[in-house]
Amino acid sequence: MKRILTIAAALGLLLFLTAGCSQDGTPAGSETSATDDYSTIDLSQDFGGLTVTDENTAFDDPEMKAMLAMEAQDEVADPVAVMPDVVAMDRMGREASSVPDSLRPQLTFLSLRWGHLAGLRDALDDSVACDVTDWTGSLSVDRGVLVVRRKIAFESPRDHLVFPRIDRRTVALVSHTGCGFDGLVIQVLERPDTTGAVLEPNRLHINLGPYTADFDIADLATIEEVVAVDAFGNSMELTGFNPREARACPKGFLSARYRHLPADRPDSLAGGGTILGHYAGAWRTLDGRLDGFMRGAYGLDADGQHVFVGKYIGRNGHFRGRIRGTWAEGAAADDLVSFEGQWFGAAGAAEGVLAGDGHPVEGSAGGFLVGRWATLCDPDAVDTVR
């Protein structure tokens, strides 16, 4: 039971954050949530026929409900985050309109996950044997301040952050994974240089067990990578963002699970087109807090165009938007390797953009998605997402 509960916590962020799928390929839980039936999405209709209605909490999906229940376990009381000068830097960096560029601190957010990222099926299958990998190590930056905003699926007390911290630039941690994953959402804060001196690029140094790497902080704003770490299925996922109007114009991270429909399932639509698979997952803020959920389908419309549709809801099921966009296929016609689109409010106006990459999992009928979202009021963030 303890293993199942701790793995459920891990599922809370399949970016972190997978949502399960039933045997027919649709996400686990109720086939129908409120008024929309996600098993009968029709790509011949606008938004697949999904409506602007509210949904049940977390689409009435048990795994996504578990994400809400487990959120408190992922909170971090980093003492560096509440230091007065760090709070002031964070506020100045998020409120771009009130601070000139020459004085604005640079804020960089990064979501990291390490371990087996494939998700739900393997993590909950007791017949799957996974060796334990020790990721114990540290993260550090050359300049500025490094703050931990959220843990991802740490199994306390064995897995933990090390407090007190060595200094404000270094975070040490203890982490072990088996069939699941751990991770962090971190923030790097750096004051602008006003001396005119020529400085070396500020760098993030990652030393976590079998994975070591160095990154220029400036490059983390657009990073969206999944790197294979070993021959045993372990990977490192990094998704970054460098916001300006973070307070006035919300933005954040996406992650989900997608699954192909079984090959023998009739999937041709009456109005033309073909459903190839479904997806479901989490919609999070820059700090890693669960902001809502998304759910939908992808496939081909009657003209053979690659269509990606869905619905975005808040934490308690309130309607936030309908999603419409495109996707790209991989080696197999139903492998979803990237997606891009917009979400539209109840009145039909576009409110934001979302995009990311899909990662097919060998031997699995699908894979997982990681990406970002941004509201339209921040053109720089929109360009970064796209």
* Predicted confidence (pLDDT) per residue in 187-244, tens digit: 999 988 777 777 889 999 999 999 999 999 999 988 989 999 998 889 999 999 877 6
pLDDT tens digits, one per residue of 341-375: 999 999 999 999 999 999 887 777 888 898 999 99
Hey, which bits of 68-123 come out as E strands?
106-115
pTM of the model as a whole: 0.80
What is the C-alpha R_g of the chain? Answer: 21
Helix (H, G, I), strand (E, B), or coil: what is residue 35? coil
Question: What's the N-to-C CA distance of the chain in angstroms?
Answer: 42
- What is the per-residue pLDDT for 273? 77
What pLDDT does 205 receive?
A: 98
User: Residue 79: its pLDDT value, please?
Assistant: 96
Greatest Cα pair distance, the chain, in angstroms, is 67
pLDDT of residue 294: 95
CA-closest candidate to residue 114, choices 242, 226, 274: 226
- Which element (helix H / strand E) includes 368? strand 366-375
Q: CA-based angle 364:368:372, to the nearest 5?
A: 170
pLDDT (tens place) for every residue of the chain, 386 residues total: 333 333 333 333 333 333 333 333 344 433 344 568 888 888 888 899 999 999 999 888 888 888 888 888 888 999 999 999 999 998 888 776 666 777 788 899 999 999 988 653 333 334 456 789 999 999 999 999 999 999 988 888 889 999 999 999 999 999 999 888 899 999 999 988 777 777 889 999 999 999 999 999 999 988 989 999 998 889 999 999 877 656 678 889 998 888 888 766 656 555 667 888 899 999 999 888 889 999 999 999 888 899 999 999 999 899 999 999 999 988 777 788 999 999 999 999 999 999 999 988 777 788 889 899 999 987 777 877 87
Task: Compute the distance between CA of residue 100 and CA of residue 93 in angstroms, rounded to an integer.
Answer: 10
Residue of 224, 200, 294 whose CA lies nearest to 256? 294
Q: Is-contact 165 100, C-beta < 8 A? A: no
Task: Report how far Cα 255 is from the mean position of its chain's Cα atoms.
Answer: 3
